Chains A and B, each alone.
Chain A
Amino acid sequence: MIEIKNLHKSYKMGKNSLHVLKGINFSVEEGELVAIMGSSGSGKSTLLNILGMLDELDEGTYTLDGVPIKNLNETKAAQYRNKFLGFIFQSFNLINYKSAAENVALPLYYQRVGRKERQEKALKYLEQVGLKQWATHLPSELSGGQKQRVAIARAMAAEPKVLLADEPTGALDSKTSYEVMDLIQKINDQGNTILVVTHEEDIAHMCKRIVHLKDGVIVEDKKVEQVRAEQYV
């Protein structure tokens, strides 16, 4: 599903150049649930941004579902993001003046799906995350865990190839974190490919594979026995 070879990325800070990713080789099969771990400054967010086409790579190749991702203009990148990727952010990033259902329907709007179908699909995914009765509520009327679940429904709505979650539990307490992880595991059970960036060990062990990043290189890449989040909920 994801194929990365010899990936380099550096940021120019004035005269100095900061080499963030120093030759990453990494691939993800369909249906995997991968945790990317590392301390701050290890380059894990940069890697996720490149995977999410939110940032460009300097060197190396990136293939997503057989499509080479390089030299994309803004419009093309937007179309690929819409088609291939679903994002889940630490700070939820819901649009605050839109209701839960409208937020979920937004990626479908950019896919030019008809209005009626959008509403139906939005409700369907809200139901999957257990928030159907909250469909008409604004994000400000929801709790943190509910907001993240709306965000997950939104990421799912476009039916992407890969879900990218950047610290999805970073702003949540343990109990809510496990609820969100439970949801992510269930989505993965349905065969969806998911990448989770985290620095929390327990969250990482709820995935099936852990990739450790340190100073811009992968230091460890291992399969783990998945801990089900269900038992803590």
Chain B
Amino acid sequence: MFSRDNWKEIFETIQKNKLRTFLSGFTVALGILIFVVLYGFGNGLINTFNEFFEDDATNTFFVFPGRTSKPYKGYKSNRQIEFDNTDLADIEESFPLFLEYISPRVDRSGMVKYKNESNNYTTRGVSDAYQFAEKTVIMKGRYLNRVDIEEKAKYAVIGRLVEQDLFKNENALGKYIDITGSAFKVIGVFQDEAGDDEERRIYIPYTTRQLIEKNTDKVDQIVIGFKTEIGYAGAMTFERKLGDFLREKKFIDPNDERGFFIRNVADQLKQNQQFAGVLQIIVAFVAFGTIIAGIIGISNIMVFVVKERTKEIGIRKALGATPRSVISTILLESVFITTISGIFGMIVGVAMLSSLGDTLEDYFITNPFINMGTAIFSTIVLIFFGGLAGYIPARRAARIKPIVALRDE
């Protein structure tokens, strides 16, 4: 079956039927090429998607105050709920099993000046733990620490773009900036993957902010990080218990959903993961469809090839070709063509993907890739089905009586 003569016969047939060879080879190469590129784009889409949501920590609750919608224990409805420092301490004390860190968040926007440069920025009063919630990366200097919070230090950590705007080429570290009339010492510069908006922020201790605002103890929002090991179910339990706890403490009707709001990133994370999963399924479906289309394409060509060769098969049989040799000649030829062109299509596809790199980032495709295993596996699948598609009509052709095949015009 694999003798040199047999191969010579196959090569001669291939050489002398260039159009046929080209058509079947082209179908296979194109099928694999499209599969590889589509699959790679799908992966690129998933990459982009993951990047969007990797920016912030995912083990986080945001608690926003609201207005009550029901009267309760003598309090009227439509009462504004406010959080203060005792709430922070109470939550920290009540949920040691769930809680990883807690930080308030007090946003104020206002004019920030350095020498002659000035601009409007959001200044965010936070505690030291807030760094985890935003996944803030310090470029130079340091972030706020516990001592800064306790001492109500007039320290500021500024975004990369704030430094660029106000300090031009100067080093901001150790310099003093004027935030709405108070001088703050710059102790750190940070960057954040989320981009421009976040890098135009200034972080100061929330206690300092409270001091400036007539020594109040109010905080706007509360950011809570929970321990990742409690898992999704644990996070949901924590959210429920935290809600009950705050409603009781703030005298809100247990059924009143509007006193405050808890945004649970874990819940979102789950949805996001489901969305990514759906994306993966769509990609797999499209890729699967492409392979099926490729198989149908190669099957069509094989049926055509065998049909075209029916008379030749009849002649060969009359001259003494056994059914086995007829099948093996046709099959080896088709497997040979599909293998060569399949590998060719695969290599071109992989090369295309790796040359694309990040050039399609504007179209939400980041770093498209296909792992070699998937590429090789799908190539083998296509070769296998190409062979099978050749085998079925070849077997039928080998079975027809030579006299019938000879009459075929």
Give the residue name and chain of the B residue nearest to A45 (CB).
B403
Interchain CA distance A109-B320 in the complex, whole Å: 9
How far is the CB of A156 from the nearest CB of chain B, in Å? 12
Q: Check if A145 is an interface residue, CB within 8 A of chain B.
A: no
Given contacts A97-B13, A97-B16, A115-B8, contact A81 B320 (CB under 8 A): yes
Interchain CA distance A107-B320 in the complex, whole Å: 6
Give the residue name and chain of the A residue nearest to B3 (CB).
A112
Enumerate chain B residues within 8 angstroms of A95, measured Cβ to Cβ: 312, 315-316
Given contacts A95-B315, A97-B16, A97-B17, contact A111 B403 (CB under 8 A): no
Q: Binary interface profile of B, 377-409, with partner A (CB < 8 Å = 1, else 0)?
A: 000000000000000000000110111001000
Task: Give residues of chain A (125-172) contacting chain B, Cβ–Cβ below 8 Å.
Answer: 154, 158
Stretch of A4-12, A71-79, A188-196 with 4 or more beta carbons under 8 angstroms from chain B: A71-79
Given contacts A55-B403, A97-B17, A115-B8, contact A74 B398 (CB under 8 A): yes
Interchain CA distance A111-B319 in the complex, whole Å: 10
The answer to whether B322 touches A87, judged by C-beta atoms less than 8 angstroms apart, is: no
Q: Check if B124 is an interface residue, CB within 8 A of chain A.
A: no
The answer to whether A110 touches B323, judged by C-beta atoms less than 8 angstroms apart, is: no
Enumerate chain B residues within 8 angstroms of A55, measured Cβ to Cβ: 401, 403
Partner of B323, one of A78, A107, A154: A78
The answer to whether A74 touches B320, judged by C-beta atoms less than 8 angstroms apart, is: no
How far is the CB of B315 from the nearest CB of chain A, in Å? 5
The answer to whether B13 touches A89, judged by C-beta atoms less than 8 angstroms apart, is: no
Enumerate chain B residues within 8 angstroms of A102, measured Cβ to Cβ: 12
Q: Check if A39 is an interface residue, CB within 8 A of chain B.
A: no
Q: Check if B324 is an interface residue, CB within 8 A of chain A.
A: yes
The answer to whether A75 touches B323, judged by C-beta atoms less than 8 angstroms apart, is: yes
The answer to whether B322 touches A78, judged by C-beta atoms less than 8 angstroms apart, is: yes
Given contacts A89-B406, A93-B406, A115-B8, contact A106 B401 (CB under 8 A): no
Interchain CA distance A97-B13 in the complex, whole Å: 8
Selected A-B contacts with CB under 8 Å, 30 pairs: A52-B318, A54-B318, A54-B402, A54-B403, A55-B403, A74-B322, A78-B317, A78-B321, A79-B320, A81-B319, A81-B320, A93-B311, A93-B314, A93-B406, A95-B312, A95-B315, A97-B16, A97-B17, A98-B12, A98-B16, A106-B319, A109-B5, A110-B316, A110-B320, A110-B321, A110-B322, A110-B325, A115-B5, A158-B319, A158-B320
Beyond the given A52-B318, A75-B324, please list 5 additional residue pairs across the A-B interface where CB-CB is below 8 A.
Answer: A83-B320, A87-B318, A109-B9, A110-B322, A115-B8
Q: Check if A49 is an interface residue, CB within 8 A of chain B.
A: yes
Given contacts A74-B398, A93-B406, A97-B17, contact A111 B320 (CB under 8 A): yes
Interchain CA distance A95-B12 in the complex, whole Å: 13
Enumerate chain A residues within 8 angstroms of B311, measured Cβ to Cβ: 93
Give the residue name and chain of the A residue nearest to B321 (CB).
A110
Interchain CA distance A82-B322 in the complex, whole Å: 10
Given contacts A93-B406, A97-B13, A109-B9, contact A75 B319 (CB under 8 A): no
Interchain CA distance A81-B402 in the complex, whole Å: 11
Enumerate chain A residues within 8 angstroms of B323, measured Cβ to Cβ: 74-75, 78
The answer to whether A54 touches B401, judged by C-beta atoms less than 8 angstroms apart, is: yes
Enumerate chain B residues within 8 angstroms of A75, measured Cβ to Cβ: 322-324
Give the residue name and chain of the A residue nearest to B325 (CB).
A110
The answer to whether A49 touches B403, judged by C-beta atoms less than 8 angstroms apart, is: yes
The answer to whether A79 touches B319, judged by C-beta atoms less than 8 angstroms apart, is: no
Enumerate chain A residues within 8 angstroms of B403, measured Cβ to Cβ: 49, 54-55
How far is the CB of B209 from the nearest CB of chain A, in Å? 88
Chain B CB within 10 Å, residue with most, of A54, A78, A106, A115: A78
Chain A CB within 10 Å, residue with most, of B8, B318, B322, B401: B318
Interchain CA distance A48-B322 in the complex, whole Å: 20
How far is the CB of B77 from the nearest CB of chain A, in Å? 91
Give the residue name and chain of the A residue nearest to B403 (CB).
A54
Complex A-B, nearest 4 residue pairs according to Cβ-Cβ distance, in ascending order: A82-B320, A97-B16, A110-B320, A54-B403
The answer to whether B319 touches A87, judged by C-beta atoms less than 8 angstroms apart, is: yes
Interchain CA distance A41-B111 in the complex, whole Å: 109
Interchain CA distance A32-B320 in the complex, whole Å: 24
Enumerate chain A residues within 8 angstroms of B9, measured Cβ to Cβ: 109
How far is the CB of B348 from the nearest CB of chain A, in Å? 30
How far is the CB of A223 from the nearest CB of chain B, in Å? 30
Partner of A93, one of B315, B320, B321, B398: B315
The answer to whether A106 touches B316, judged by C-beta atoms less than 8 angstroms apart, is: yes
Give the residue name and chain of the B residue nearest to A151 (CB).
B315
Enumerate chain B residues within 8 angstroms of A97, measured Cβ to Cβ: 13, 16-17
Q: Binary interface profile of B, 338-360, with partner A (CB < 8 Å = 1, else 0)?
A: 00000000000000000000000
How far is the CB of A207 from the nearest CB of chain B, in Å? 22
Interchain CA distance A79-B403 in the complex, whole Å: 16
Give the residue name and chain of the A residue nearest to B407 (CB).
A91
Enumerate chain A residues within 8 angstroms of B12, measured Cβ to Cβ: 98, 102
Enumerate chain B residues within 8 angstroms of A94, measured Cβ to Cβ: 315
